[in-house]
Amino acid sequence: MTPPLVGAADIRAAAERIRPAVHRTPLLGGDGFWLKPEHRQRTGSFKARGAFNAVARLTADHVLAQSSGNHGRAVAYAAARHGLRATVVLPDTAPVLKVDAVHALGARVVVVPPALRESTTAELAARTGATVIGSADLDVIAGHGTVGAEIVADLPDVRTVLVPVCNGGLLAGVAAAVKAVSPATRVVGVEPALAGDAAESLRLGTLVRWPVEQTYRTIADGLRAPVLGEPAWRHIRVLVDDIVTVDEDSIVAAQEFLSARFGVLAEPSGAVATAAYLTGQSLGATVAVVSGGNVAATVPAGERVSVEHG
């Protein structure tokens, strides 16, 4: 039997559960364009919402996550708030800023080549018995859905919501929340053209995986996942109106626009939704989710010796 999709009741329950641990971010802007500034969120990205909701529902004492950085940081944060041990698997291309932030929250960090993230996580789970918190798990999706619920509460007339896409947990959650209240509002995913597996999946109607050698070409380090998570995909194929792509120059231009107009320092992954707006890929009153502000450092984690290597 196919598990049910996350619904409005799940998202309302998640909102109550995470209230003590996250910020309710206000919309910024006007005149037809607003930002949902999740770069102001705890841990510097929207990921705190889903991670905290998932960890709060566990009885385990050790949690495990694999991440490009922000999800791992959020799981480490949630684990620390609940007094749990955390292990985070990161790629050796992860920005030092993100690696150090995970360390600072008391998590054990294991660094591996990007192609070994999934297999290393599975091996660690089998060996340690830790509970894996996937970035597109249903409880994570419900937590991320609070982003969408807040958007439609603050701007009931929104016509288009633009959402960055990695594993798809944020897009799935936002779509579930928005469509439950405002079915006519368009929910559009945005990803780099160099990591366009989600756009291809939606176009073909079947889940497509891209090699990491392709997805790791983009500067948007938080959006390099080679495939959508299966639970997220089940939501996206039903609820999402479109997934569009933006090129690398548009991402940089969006970062500059966000800084100049709003004083927002967004990481490349956090700027892709704004890039879609600037390139004319939205209709009517638009909200772009700025998913994170953990701007990449220049030295990748693989060149540092302060982390444990897998």
The predicted-structure confidence for 111-159, as pLDDT tens digits, reads as follows: 999 999 999 999 999 999 999 999 999 999 999 999 999 999 999 999 9
* pLDDT mean over 159-166: 98
Domains 8-45+137-290 and 47-135 share a fold: yes
DSSP 12: H
Catalytic status, residue 135:
no
Domain residues of the chain, as ranges? 8-45+137-290, 47-135
Q: 8-45+137-290: what fold?
A: Rossmann fold (3.40.50)
182 is catalytic: no
Q: Which of 47, 67, 98, 250 is catalytic?
A: 47
What integer pLDDT is reported at residue 308 of this predicted model? 36
Residue 296: pLDDT band with limits 50, 70, 90: low
Q: Where are the alpha helices (DSSP H) in 155-229?
A: 169-181, 197-204, 212-215
Q: Which CATH class is domain 47-135?
A: alpha beta
Which is the catalytic residue, given 45, 68, 182, 250? Answer: 68
Tokens found for residue 294? 């953990």
| Residue 62 vs residues 55, 82, 83: alpha-carbon distances, Å | 10, 11, 9
Integer angstrom CA distances of residue 68 from 6, 41, 115, 156, 269: 25, 18, 12, 33, 11
Q: What was the pLDDT predicted at 32?
A: 97
Q: Is the pTM of this model over 0.85?
A: yes
| Residue 72 confidence (pLDDT) above 50 | yes
d(CA 113, CA 41): 29
